[in-house]
Amino acid sequence: MLIPQEKISEIINVSDIVDIISESVILKKSGRNYFGLCPFHSEKSPSFSVSPEKQIFHCFGCSAGGNVFSFLMRHHGLSFPEAVKMAARRYNIQVETGQVSPERQKQLALREGLFRLNNQVMEHYCGLLSNSPKADMARKYMKDRGITSETIEQFSLGFAQESWDDMVSFFRRMKLSRSLAEQSGLVLAREQKAGYYDRFRNRIIFPIVDISMQVAGFGGRVMDDAMPKYLNSPETPVYSKGRMLYGLHAAKQYCRQADCVYIVEGYFDFLSLFQNGVRNTVASLGTALTSDHVRLLKGYASRAVLVFDSDDAGINAAKRSIATFVTEGLDVRILVLPRGQDPDSFVTSFGAQEFQGVADEAMSVIDFLTETAVTKFGSSVEGRISILDEMKGHLASVEDSAARSLYVRELAQRLGIDEAAVLEKVRDTVAGLKTGRRMPADIEGGRSPSQDGGDAGLESYRRERQMLAMLLQYSDVRAEARNRCLLDYFYCERFRRIGAIVIGFEEHEGSLAADLMAVLENDGDRELVASLAMMDGGQSDKVLDKSIFLMKRIVKVRNRNENTLANQIRRAEQGGDSQLPLDLLKKRQAEIRQLHGYE
């Protein structure tokens, strides 16, 4: 459903963000803004602020932020159109849904039908596990694994009996249409003759519930060594393995409280931890973690701990998932359990407290990768060179440049290699990455502060950030910046990209920040804008002078840096000393020129 932009602006104008947020957060007025405890991270003193003037919210603790729609989306797990409709309903604004095509209507009806069906199937499987004489072995198995009847009930665990047509006849009794039966993924068409057979046979059944608490699909696990160990629903109109995490529906509130989520692989790892009181846990269903998974988790916690078995398969699985976390910017640590232990056996033998204890010691990504590389290559000279080769890619993908410098130093010390040499390898790789793909960094794709010479680079980053905040708040500053082509002098590509949209707004009625958010494409940008809009602009009569001073400074520093670089190149070409090799200097100059559109 496409909602027209005018409708969206109309809803922004009419709705009151304080009003809407107060329904779920206790807000107290302080000065011009309202404050309360942040619903997106756990905290004891309020750092969550709402501005009635600007119609935005921003958390000084976890930097969640956005307009009224962002809040509804994140708080209720809604899509954008759903959030718009929710706000519209509240203010009795009609959002035409007549535009829903007949095709889309059919799709929606199919989804509803499947959710309803899954619910009935779940009850069928549950009934078998609790009552059927055929489930004696399954009940004993659950008992042996230490799963309590409360847990079985809470997660509606079930049993698929050893039969090819139990589900088939269940569907027949329900007089289910052939199309719905097929699309449920629970039965499959026979190949040789007509008819269907059951997907799940002789397995413990785990209903997979999505965050809106609907049964989206099922997972089945064998009770012996049969293969495959895990079998899940196939992709259906309501189930997509790349977006589902087992247990999140039950764990989400605990993840929010702890601001941390444990990610395990198996169903029993999850159930054991949950049952033993480690409730901020989800299971990955045996599939590699996708960006969608990580984005989903980001709504509930700012830290994740990957918990893996100490075997090679576990370590390889951890390695595959790390890149996704790093790219999505979620702080992730790796917990490798002592040899021979998995999360289930560990928490069963040692308890929740001991588990939390080892989890607190979980390794950073770089520690973990270095550790496994050292084990793999040894510490001879050749070994250390191979380690550096393997690590440079990982280091280059660390988005935060300050963190990256620390890792570089740490690795250099660890390997006994000169820090500058490590740094250079990593820089080359970063340069290679930049042309290849977009970096997710706050300073995405641009020269990071450290690359531009430590504190001096950080200074320009701060100046540009402050400038963007002023552009956001004052129309005369925007006009001045337009005249001076100021954005051409920004180092940070992200600030420049957002700045270009901001100075496109001339005189503006109402909150520019809230309207700007409606056109920004990602949550990170909306959060940045919310935090900038909350910065205190100072007395508005002096703002223009202050901003012009800042603009001049930005232009001057940029010009000076480039002159210095040109001088260094000239000196290096004449055979004199320079801090960096000539080819590196030239590469930087070319990058800068390209950035300025000289080429």
From 34-42, 147-155, 276-284, 501-509, give the range in contact with Zn ion by CB under 5 A: 34-42
The nearest distance, CB 259 to Zn ion, in angstroms, is 9
Instruction: With beta carbons less than 8 A apart as the criterion, state whether 114 and 176 touch.
Output: no
Name 507's bridge partners. Answer: none
Nearer to Zn ion, 65 or 266 (CB): 65
From 59-67, 152-160, 197-205, 557-565, give the range in contact with Zn ion by CB under 5 A: 59-67
Instruction: With beta carbons less than 8 A apart as the criterion, state whether 306 and 318 touch.
Output: yes
Nearer to Zn ion, 61 or 113 (CB): 61
From 7-15, 41-49, 444-452, 557-565, give the range in contact with Zn ion by CB under 5 A: 41-49
Residue 61 engages Zn ion in binding (rule: CB under 5 A): yes
The nearest distance, CB 524 to Zn ion, in angstroms, is 15
Q: How far apart are CA 312 and CA 265, in angstroms?
A: 14
Residue 41 engages Zn ion in binding (rule: CB under 5 A): yes
Residue 37 engages Zn ion in binding (rule: CB under 5 A): no
From 39-47, 292-300, 363-371, 445-453, give the range in contact with Zn ion by CB under 5 A: 39-47
Nearer to Zn ion, 61 or 77 (CB): 61
Residue 420 has phi, psi (to 5 degrees) of -60, -35
From 30-38, 71-79, 80-88, 116-124, give the range in contact with Zn ion by CB under 5 A: 30-38
Nearer to Zn ion, 42 or 214 (CB): 42
Amino acid at 216: A
**Residue closest to 207 by CA, chosen among 117, 304, 275, 309:** 117
**Residue closest to 211 by CA, chosen among 82, 326, 331:** 82
C-alpha angle 180-185-188 in degrees, rounded to nearest 5: 95
Buried (b) or exposed (e) across 254-268, using 16+ Cβ within 10 A? bbbebbbbbbbbbbb
Element (H, E) at 278: none
From 5-13, 53-61, 214-222, 583-591, give the range in contact with Zn ion by CB under 5 A: 53-61
The nearest distance, CB 44 to Zn ion, in angstroms, is 12
Residue 59 engages Zn ion in binding (rule: CB under 5 A): yes
From 60-68, 137-145, 173-181, 187-195, give the range in contact with Zn ion by CB under 5 A: 60-68
Residue 423 engages Zn ion in binding (rule: CB under 5 A): no
Nearer to Zn ion, 40 or 274 (CB): 40
Instruction: With beta carbons less than 8 A apart as the criterion, state whether 73 and 83 touch.
Output: yes
The nearest distance, CB 49 to Zn ion, in angstroms, is 10
Residue 35 engages Zn ion in binding (rule: CB under 5 A): no
The nearest distance, CB 401 to Zn ion, in angstroms, is 24
Q: How far apart are CA 274 and CA 265, in angstroms?
A: 14
Segment 348 to 387, residues that bind Zn ion, using CB under 5 A: none
Q: How far apart are CA 514 and CA 65, in angstroms?
A: 11
Residue 62 engages Zn ion in binding (rule: CB under 5 A): yes
Rg (CA), the chain: 28
- What length is written for the chain? 599
Strands (E), 3-42: 28-30, 33-36
Nearer to Zn ion, 38 or 305 (CB): 38
**Residue closest to 374 by CA, chosen among 384, 365, 389:** 384
For 29, the token pair is 């007025």
Nearer to Zn ion, 64 or 117 (CB): 64
From 9-17, 63-71, 215-223, 446-454, give the range in contact with Zn ion by CB under 5 A: 63-71
Segment 64 to 123, residues that bind Zn ion, using CB under 5 A: 64
From 20-28, 38-46, 223-231, 355-363, give the range in contact with Zn ion by CB under 5 A: 38-46
The nearest distance, CB 403 to Zn ion, in angstroms, is 21
The nearest distance, CB 65 to Zn ion, in angstroms, is 9
- How deeply is 309 buried, as exposed, middle or buried, from its count of CB atoms within 10 A (0-12, 13-18, 19+)? buried
Residue 38 engages Zn ion in binding (rule: CB under 5 A): yes
Instruction: With beta carbons less than 8 A apart as the criterion, state whether 281 and 251 touch.
Output: yes
Name 57's bridge partners. Answer: 50, 66
- How deeply is 502 buried, as exposed, middle or buried, from its count of CB atoms within 10 A (0-12, 13-18, 19+)? buried
The nearest distance, CB 61 to Zn ion, in angstroms, is 4
From 56-64, 84-92, 344-352, 394-402, give the range in contact with Zn ion by CB under 5 A: 56-64
The H-assigned helical ranges of 306-440 are 312-328, 343-360, 365-377, 381-396, 401-415, 419-436
Nearer to Zn ion, 259 or 452 (CB): 259
The H-assigned helical ranges of 241-304 are 248-258, 267-275, 291-298
The nearest distance, CB 533 to Zn ion, in angstroms, is 16
Nearer to Zn ion, 36 or 457 (CB): 36
Nearer to Zn ion, 59 or 282 (CB): 59
Nearer to Zn ion, 45 or 192 (CB): 45
Q: How far apart are CA 289 and CA 461, in angstroms?
A: 33
Nearer to Zn ion, 38 or 532 (CB): 38
Residue 283 engages Zn ion in binding (rule: CB under 5 A): no
Amino acid at 41: H
Q: Which of 35, 40, 159, 171 binds Zn ion (CB under 5 A)?
A: 40
Residue 36 engages Zn ion in binding (rule: CB under 5 A): no
For 320, the token pair is 């595959």
Q: How far apart are CA 522 and CA 549, in angstroms?
A: 31
The nearest distance, CB 63 to Zn ion, in angstroms, is 7
Strands (E), 131-189: 158-160, 187-189
Instruction: With beta carbons less than 8 A apart as the criterion, state whether 157 and 130 touch.
Output: no
Residue 267 engages Zn ion in binding (rule: CB under 5 A): no
Summarize as ranges the residues that interact with Zn ion (CB under 5 A). Answer: 38, 40-41, 59, 61-62, 64
